[in-house]
Structure 1
């Protein structure tokens, strides 16, 4: 399945730029996205409108189904404090400076009719965008704990959400980034301590000291999984 999404950023009366995302889905791999930056800073509103109309018409001719998303306030809320350079630096071929005004995205989502994919029950999987948004709005940081063992792209695929949503949930909890690497590192250190404690070369004194280290690592892990909020 292939989807494209055009997001137009600006403020009332002024359009700054657009970000065009091409996302490819496959049954056995995480979604892959490519981004294109479109500069509208020197274009009038009529020119931008005509450009969007031509874009939509072209996608219809290519067999895409166009879904107009009216949840502009939802997307505006998601973009408060959002670092677009961080999200696009690995994908966008064109660098751009952030505007002094907050972005106001007006999303258009185009979805190409996918070929039916067989699930374990023999039925094609169904994806309801409104249900996804409703579920994402209810998710809390603690609800993601079982997925911290996975990189953010894989966790997003398993949760049927986009990585941006997971980043937003983490930041709401005061966690600056997806904690996969920290969780992985702590668990690896704990495994090494346990292996040494179970070995024949470990003395009683060393075992006591290692147990203290293990307890500290476990507490660090608990704090990380809890978003830094653990009762003393």
Structure 2
């Protein structure tokens, strides 16, 4: 019997995370077309044609659906292709992740009826289209692991910052409260993570706090392991 290639559609989905008001937020769109008309979903869509690069398709969809064209770095998160995940047929999605500071308000376009930042803890318990809640959960876990092993957290701080301000970034991304003394010890043990900079700053409590800036290393050793 002659073999016939199965019809498989290739798509991209995007988990875009940022901090807003000291909370981790994810970009969600409201679907303006079927299937799942009106449902919340991650931004994404199909490749335009067989010549379009996958990463280029991800950036195009992000710009078209949410008006975000300046996300600095997209990394591959995973491939999702279980049968039945999309009622339109066999659809394999290459998911991408970005964790970036100070991202602007999104502007909906193309087949998205709306676009907004949503706190991650709320999005993870909401009804999302397709298998997007699973993709989001994987993206959040990847982001939390990145803070353990990389210096990413300093990108969410000002050029100079206090240990307390750095701790707030970790608490927002990890979704837990941290003991200040243990956190300070771990930061100091991570060689080259941060370096002292400038005079001390007076805090809201009236006590002075030492200022730091991002250090030269990008991979933390030892890592900032979660409790």
- Tell me the TM-score normalised to structure 2 length: 0.27
- Tell me the TM-score normalised to structure 1 length: 0.27
Larger radius of gyration: 1
**Higher RCO, 1 vs 2 (CA within 8 Å, ≥6 residues apart):** 2
More strand by percentage:
2
More helix by percentage:
1
